[in-house]
Amino acid sequence: MSGRRGGLGRGLEALIPTGSGSALLQIPVDRIRPNPHQPRSRFDEESIAALAESIAEIGLLQPVVVKEAEDGGYVLVAGERRWRAARRAGLAEIPALVRSGDDRAALTEALVENLQREDLSPLEEAAAYRQLLDDFGMTHEEIGARVGKSRSSITNTLRLLQLPAVIQGMVDRGELSAGHAKALLGLDDHRYAEHVARRAVAEGWSVRQVEEAVRARKGKVAPPRAKVKEVRPVEIIELEQRLSDRLGTRVRIDYRNRKGKVEISFGSLDDLERIYRRFFAE
């Protein structure tokens, strides 16, 4: 990688909680090994490959959490997906929080404090949200309450991590704003999204111009025919919201004639496994 700061967030020092017995170090990837008690046995290879591309482009934005092993190595406490992706990206060493205690609450609080800083890039913010979801089991709603933002704001920021690595790099370098990037999320064709992003950078497009390019690609949609708006029961809407908050993802309940179905959205196999674990968290 170039003169990039190695993926460390500008406010990363806040991740080290005073008195928690944790230290932030750069540790060789081959000195870290998975936790043998890791409940997750399968990892989405496509998701890891995408993360590896992002790491190769902009570095590892959030550290893994490890404990020292008796043989002088380190055992992962949290962040195995990031560790696997870093290995695939060819990183020799990665940032890691070395825990000597078990104060998980202190680490969570420190990460939340880090998010309240104003000098984090949009991608560093998104990566920190992802860490709170994956490593500490928080929901979108809980994160929003802790950092003073709406659940939809948390969800939209997390979507930046779905962008191709090339576009993430443009955002990280300040060539594209978060607004430009969020507009590009409307394109399913990643190659075309990269094409639009490059033109936006080269020609100095505004966010509105990017949005217009996305709409033009998707084509004009005929206005829907007028129809009577469906009135959904208040109880169903409230239950739908509670399930969404609990699972940290969009939930849709289709209820008609005293029966129906529940649709739960997920972004990857890792995300599906996270949702599965939420059902049995209690």
State how far the alpha carbon of 175 is from the alpha carbons of 16, 179, 198, in Å. 30, 12, 10
- What is d(CA 88, CA 11) in angstroms, rounded to the nearest whole number? 26
Distance between alpha carbon 147 and the CA centroid of its chain, in Å? 16
- What is d(CA 111, CA 113) in angstroms, rounded to the nearest whole number? 5
Most distant CA atoms of the chain, gap in Å: 70
Which residue out of 80, 124, 125, 141 is catalytically annotated? Answer: 80
Count CB neighbours of 269 within 10 A: 14
Helix axis angle for 104-115 and 140-147, nearest 10°, is 60
- For Cα atoms 240, 244, 78, give the angle at the middle one, nearest 5 degrees: 160
Q: Show the tokens assigned to 224.
A: 């829907």
Contacts of 109 (CB under 8 A, 6+ apart): 17
The answer to whether 80 is a known catalytic residue is yes
- What is d(CA 124, CA 253) in angstroms, rounded to the nearest whole number? 33
The answer to whether 78 touches 135, Cβ cutoff 8 Å, is yes
Q: Where in the sequence numbering do the catalytic residues fall?
A: 80
